Amino acid sequence: MHLLVAVVSDTHVGDKAKSLPIPFLNKLRASSPDLILHAGDITSHTVLEELEEITPVVAVRGNVDHLHLPEEKVVEVGDVSIGMVHGHQFFSLNSHFLALKAMDMGVDVLVFGHTHRFYFEPLSLHGRRVYLLNPGSPMFPRYDSPGFALLRTDGKEVDVRRIELW
């Protein structure tokens, strides 16, 4: 069973921007995701409402969020278990540390944000495959292009594609 998940982070509507950009919303709608994961720094409940108009949303709290959201969350997408954190909670966001966090959470994929930069890496650690994914930011990228990620699952298989806004 194929499932498509849009992964977003660091939108900062309310503290740095007035609204989500139209090119972002258009590309998000056009991708027709089954689910949207937001890895924090949402800063305004209107972002979640706007994304919910497209498809269901699961979100975690970022370091500038004052919304009542969990610090971390585990979501089952078909046969794939996805852990979500923002990333500000950690001393380091290096791949080894993040892979250990994924294993601690018991997930196949760890989605995180905070750096505003796209990152995807499949790792093998202690004989187990773990995927690390930071979708970057569609609005305030740091040394990167604005965008988000599409994560497709097929059974236990994971494929990630980066969607750049321009």
Shortest CA distance to 158 belongs to which of 129, 119, 116? 129
Q: Would you list the DSSP string of 69-137? A: --SEEEEEETTEEEEEE-STTSS---HHHHHHHHHHHT-SEEE--SS-SEEEEEEEETTEEEEEEEE--
User: What whole-number distance in Å separates Cα of residue 100 and Cα of residue 77?
Assistant: 21
| Structure confidence at residue 91 (pLDDT) | 75
What is the domain extent for residue 59?
A: 2-164
| Structure confidence at residue 17 (pLDDT) | 86
| Structure confidence at residue 112 (pLDDT) | 97
| Structure confidence at residue 15 (pLDDT) | 87
Number of structural domains the chain divides into: 1
Q: What is the CATH number of the domain that holds 102?
A: 3.60.21.10
Rounded to 10 degrees, what is the CA torsion of 136, 140, 143, 147? 40
| Structure confidence at residue 49 (pLDDT) | 97
pTM for the model stands at 0.96
User: What whole-number distance in Å separates Cα of residue 107 and Cα of residue 45?
Assistant: 27
User: What whole-number distance in Å separates Cα of residue 70 and Cα of residue 47?
Assistant: 16
Tens place of pLDDT per residue across the chain (166 aa): 799 999 999 999 988 889 999 999 999 999 999 999 999 999 999 999 999 999 999 999 999 999 999 999 999 999 999 999 999 988 778 898 899 999 999 999 999 999 999 999 999 988 889 999 999 999 999 999 999 999 999 999 999 999 999 8
| Structure confidence at residue 11 (pLDDT) | 97
152 in Cβ contact with 26 (< 8 Å) = no
100 in Cβ contact with 125 (< 8 Å) = yes
| Structure confidence at residue 126 (pLDDT) | 84
